[in-house]
Chains A and B, each alone.
Chain A
């Protein structure tokens, strides 16, 4: 709006927007171009913009040199879906507690919950590593999944913000009919929160999918790796095979990009809901 005052013509505005677009999307287009090249062509200088010939051999090399690759995709899916289930079940319950009970301690505990968002992970990482070792969780998926069942603060905050927008009259009506807090939650608030639960699910899926550090610290066997950690192996072993690297990255981006394009509305709403009202 302010830029309008600069007396820029529409043409200029579009030109600026396109420069920005090149910055944000150019690298991704380059990734697409690289993964369709032969290894030789990916290294020529000056670089070729459009692959000639177009070949999908990079994907074949990826899957033959790293036979575990399909497994890692499967692992990542399982873990991310578990993260979604854990988040929806636990965080919605906790958010209901914060939004709808009249307990005095809820104000204080909510500040505590938000404060935990500000504490760096390094502080708990090593004791958790020791703990997981002691209870036999090291080198299993449990450290990657179970914490999602304990209601991450970000999701509690997101869901609570939404529940606060639902009028309390709905609750009152249910109490009149002899319902208790659990009925209000399970019959009224939970179903009414579906839009924000979808938003939360998408974020949980994405954050779990892109997480590198947790699987990197807690997993040891290659067969249990997620895609992120597996891709790191790829960098180590085939650092010069750019098309294969690009193909691997493409596979790691694809599910999220698809999710994004189909559910874009929920992404934006989530960001706005959590960040403008704090």
Chain B
């Protein structure tokens, strides 16, 4: 069957196969890592999530027991609630802030590049240093409380159960740089004539913001929502270094819980069940966002 040298179809097939082989050779570094450092471990995690694996004795199949356990695990639900606070409140608050900052930096002013440079810088500060800085300025007798006192507000215990979550949201807000650049790029892509036409029609600037700017940057908003949602679901370092997820589990996130279940309690099977549930949760929310995007994201080329 393979020997029909005169037929074009076969020659094309041969060259297509050659092209595939060439491609696979070039992407081999990724493919190898993908297979052995991603797919294999992820499938192992799925398997172990149905076992009582503890890294010491042989794993025994326990069926859905780990997943059932989680239903009644108060700490697990607490960690999920805390994480949802960061996702459902922290991410939207930060997005609004980032869009405002991007608009600010998009003004045509002398020296605006200077502001851009410094607004971006905190994004590059290592999380551990962010925590140290925050511990210093938000300490009970720190500079933030001092400034509040000056305007007549009493000192706040920022790392208390009540305040620690908003403080962590503020940390993320401080490191907005990369998201702001995304919005800046999106703002730059808006054709000027839209504003000029609106101005001729006598539209107010607020009206222009909501009728032109915001719709035009919806693709960037969708992108940012998804990226930040996924990142926030995995938040670990800040609350961990701040107070090991405390006080009283107030900043105990999903990531911290997975870590503790695995490395403190040696319940690897249970931890991997948690990890897989997180993947499923993220997938569901991503799909919902993508589906809903048809209703609120504007794509050029459509009407």
| A→B interface (CB under 8 Å) | 1-7, 10, 13-14, 16-17, 20-21, 23-25, 27-28, 30-31, 34, 42-43, 45-47, 89-91, 93-94, 96-98, 101-106, 109, 112-113, 116, 118-131, 147, 149-151, 153, 156, 181, 185, 206, 209-210, 212-213, 217, 227-228, 231-232, 235, 239, 242, 245-246, 248-249, 252-253, 256-257, 260-261, 264, 267-268, 271-272, 275-276, 278
Q: What is the CA–CA distance of A13 and B273 in the complex, to the nearest angstrom?
A: 51
User: Which of A3, A25, A156, A185 contacts B104, CB < 8 Å?
Assistant: A3
Residue of B whose beta carbon sits closest to that of A120: B234
Q: Of A1, A5, A7, A126, which one neighbours B262 at CB under 8 angstroms?
A: A126
Q: Knowing A5-B204, A151-B30, A231-B128, say if A126 contacts B223 (CB, 8 Å).
A: no
Are A28 and B181 touching (Cβ within 8 A)?
no
Return chain B residues, CB-CB under 8 Å to A113. 30, 34
Within 8 Å of chain A (Cβ to Cβ): is B237? yes
B37 touches A123 (CB 8 A): no
**Chain B residues near A206 (CB-CB < 8 A):** 124
Stretch at the interface among B63-71, B84-92, B133-141: B133-141
How long is the Cα–Cα vector from A5 to B38 in the complex, in angstroms?
A: 51
Q: Which of B19, B109, B120, B275 contacts A103 (CB 8 A)?
A: B19
Minimal beta-carbon separation of B201 from chain A (angstroms): 13
Which of A90, A232, A276 interacts with B189 by CB under 8 Å?
A276
With A257-B121, A271-B178 known as contacts, the answer to whether A150 contacts B30 (CB < 8 A) is yes
Could you write out 29 A-B pairs with CB less than 8 Å apart?
A5-B199, A7-B205, A27-B122, A28-B121, A30-B143, A45-B146, A46-B146, A90-B29, A93-B29, A94-B30, A96-B26, A101-B26, A119-B279, A122-B258, A123-B41, A124-B42, A125-B275, A126-B48, A126-B268, A126-B272, A127-B45, A147-B37, A228-B128, A231-B126, A231-B128, A256-B125, A260-B120, A267-B120, A276-B220
Interface core residue of B121, B199, B272 (most chain A CB under 10 Å): B121
**With A4-B205, A122-B258 in contact, do A213 and B143 touch (Cβ < 8 Å)?**
no
Whether A150 touches B237, Cβ cut-off 8 Å, given contacts A2-B213, A17-B115, is no
B185 interface contact, C-beta 8 A: yes
Is B275 touching A126 in the complex (CB atoms < 8 A)? yes
B10 proximal to A (CB < 8 A): no
Interface residues of B in 92-121 (CB under 8 A from A): 101, 103-104, 106-109, 112, 115, 117-121
Output the least CB separation between B180 and chain A (Å). Answer: 9
How many angstroms from the CA of A228 to the CA of B220 in the assembled complex? 32
Least CB distance, A63 to chain B, in whole angstroms: 17
- Alpha-carbon separation in the docked complex, A252 to B233 (Å): 26
| Contact indicator B23/A101 (Cβ below 8 Å) | yes
Given A124-B38, A150-B29, A232-B241, A10 contacting B128 (CB threshold 8 A): no
How many whole Å from B284's CB to the nearest CB in chain A? 12
Q: Does B44 lie at the interface of the complex (its beta carbon under 8 Å from any beta carbon of A)?
A: yes
| B223: min CB distance to chain A, Å | 6
Residues in A whose Cβ lies below 8 Å from that of B107:
1, 3-4, 13
Given contacts A3-B104, A24-B122, A96-B26, contact A271 B128 (CB under 8 A): no
Option from B23, B125, B233 in Cβ contact (under 8 Å) with A97: B23
Provide the bound-state CA to CA distance between A3 and B135, in Å. Answer: 35
CB closest chain-B residue, reference A264 = B117
Report whether B223 and A275 are in contact in the complex, using a CB–CB cutoff of 8 Å. yes
- By the criterion CB–CB under 8 Å, are A212 and B23 in contact? no
Question: Would you call A2 and B220 a contact (CB within 8 A)?
Answer: no
In the complex, are the beta carbons of B133 and A20 less than 8 A apart? Answer: no
Are A24 and B41 interface neighbours, CB within 8 A? no
Pick from B124, B230, B262: contact of A256, CB under 8 Å:
B124
Contact partners of A23 in chain B: CB under 8 A: 174
- Name the interface residues of B121-180: CB closer than 8 Å to any CB of A: 121-122, 124-129, 131-137, 141-143, 146, 174, 178
A12 smallest CB distance to B (angstroms): 11
Residue in B33, B137, B208 whose Cβ sees the most chain A Cβ within 10 Å: B33
Q: Tell which of A25, A27, A109, A253 touches B126, judged by Cβ atoms closer than 8 Å.
A: A253
Q: Which residues of A contact B209 (CB under 8 A)?
A: 2
Given contacts A5-B208, A149-B29, 12 further A-B contacts (CB under 8 A): A5-B199, A20-B119, A93-B26, A94-B30, A120-B234, A120-B282, A122-B255, A126-B268, A212-B126, A212-B127, A245-B135, A276-B220
Smallest CB separation, A273 vs chain B (Å): 10
Nearest CB of chain B from residue A156's CB, rounded to whole Å = 6
Distance in angstroms from B240 CB to nearest chain A CB is 8
